[in-house]
């Protein structure tokens, strides 16, 4: 099943001819190589051929959007503090903690020509991210969440960026797409057994496409499954290891170093 994405790209002002589809979306950057959601991880993902970065948003006590999957810093940095209980300055002043602001990551995206696939975690971050992207005229971006209310808030505000709803195993993607007012169904089915690709049926895809929606797939690091997913007519696939999807980018970099 071939898919023409030109209408989607035109509607949202995404760059045409950017890499190849499905897009390689570096999950929290190249998080299989660098500490997740850091500037180093995002830069590395682009070096490894990713066209977009998946990133997560939290909100500081003084209302600054920062990029971190968790509000709590324990898992990633081993520190018993919460982002939501600190000001941006306090967060930036912590030794051994590297949590970039959303504006920093967006600036790196502009510098490298990389798209932003923004997963909204903390409520209140969606409108702020949208306003920043619109102000910078940074069109190569998408805003989404597991929380349908956060996506619906943007949809109801006539957000002119594509909106994504993230969907857990066992949930009805089409019903959640309707509830959220989403343009993209993001299937987070990496834990659905040994062959999660079998769940992405022709019937599911046709129904999404008929409703005017595109599909993005979970983060996948199993080469055989990734090979199957890359044959599907989907917009993008997340991965911790962009080099699995874009081995030619790694080879080109190696050749450049030798030269």
What does the pLDDT look like over 233-242, one tens digit per residue? 999 999 999 9
What does the pLDDT look like over 193-211, one tens digit per residue? 999 999 999 999 999 999 9
The values of phi and psi at residue 28, to 5°, are 55, 35
pTM assigned to the model: 0.95
Tokens of 21: 């589809």
Number of domains comprising the chain = 1
CB atoms within 10 A of CB 136: 14
Q: Is the pLDDT of residue 255 over 60?
A: no
* 238 assigned to some structural domain: yes
Those residues whose C-beta lies under 8 Å from the C-beta of residue 259, and which sit 6 or more positions away, are none
73 lies in which domain range? 20-258
Q: Is the pLDDT of residue 257 over 60?
A: no
Those residues whose C-beta lies under 8 Å from the C-beta of residue 234, and which sit 6 or more positions away, are 3, 22, 200, 205, 214, 215, 216, 217
* 1 assigned to some structural domain: no
Quick one: pLDDT band at residue 183, thresholds 50, 70, 90?
very high
What does the pLDDT look like over 116-131, one tens digit per residue? 999 999 999 999 999 9
Measured CA to CA, the distance from residue 196 to residue 230 in angstroms comes to: 13
CATH of the domain at 185: 3.20.20.190
* 14 assigned to some structural domain: no
Section 84-92 average pLDDT: 98
Long-range contacts of 189-198 (CB under 8 A, 24+ apart): 189/217, 189/218, 190/218, 190/219, 190/220, 195/225, 196/220, 196/225, 197/225, 197/228, 197/229, 197/232
Section 150-172 average pLDDT: 98
């Amino acid at each position: 099943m071939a898919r023409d994405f030109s209408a989607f790209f035109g509607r949202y002002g995404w760059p045409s001819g950017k890499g190849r589809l499905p897009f390689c979306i570096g999950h929290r950057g190249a998080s299989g190589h660098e500490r997740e959601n850091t500037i180093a991880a995002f830069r590395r993902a682009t070096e490894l051929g990713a066209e977009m970065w998946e990133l997560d948003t939290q909100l500081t006590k003084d209302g600054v959007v920062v990029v971190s999957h968790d509000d709590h810093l324990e898992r990633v940095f081993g520190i018993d503090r919460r982002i939501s209980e600190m000001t941006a300055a306090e967060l930036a002043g912590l030794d051994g903690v590297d949590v970039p602001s959303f504006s920093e990551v967006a600036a790196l995206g502009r510098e490298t020509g990389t798209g932003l696939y923004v997963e909204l975690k903390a409520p209140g971050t969606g409108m702020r991210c949208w306003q920043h992207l619109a102000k910078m005229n940074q069109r190569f971006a998408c805003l989404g969440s597991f929380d349908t209310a956060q996506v619906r808030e943007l949809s109801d505000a006539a957000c002119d960026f594509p909106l994504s709803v993230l969907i857990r195993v066992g949930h009805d993607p089409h019903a959640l797409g309707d509830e959220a007012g989403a343009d993209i169904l993001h299937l987070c089915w990496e834990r659905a057994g040994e062959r999660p690709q079998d769940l992405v049926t022709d019937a599911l895809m046709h129904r999404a496409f008929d409703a005017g929606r595109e599909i993005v797939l979970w983060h996948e690091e199993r080469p055989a499954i990734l090979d199957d997913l890359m044959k599907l007519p989907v917009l993008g696939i997340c991965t911790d290891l962009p080099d699995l999807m874009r081995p030619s980018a790694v080879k080109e970099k190696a050749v450049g170093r030798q030269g």
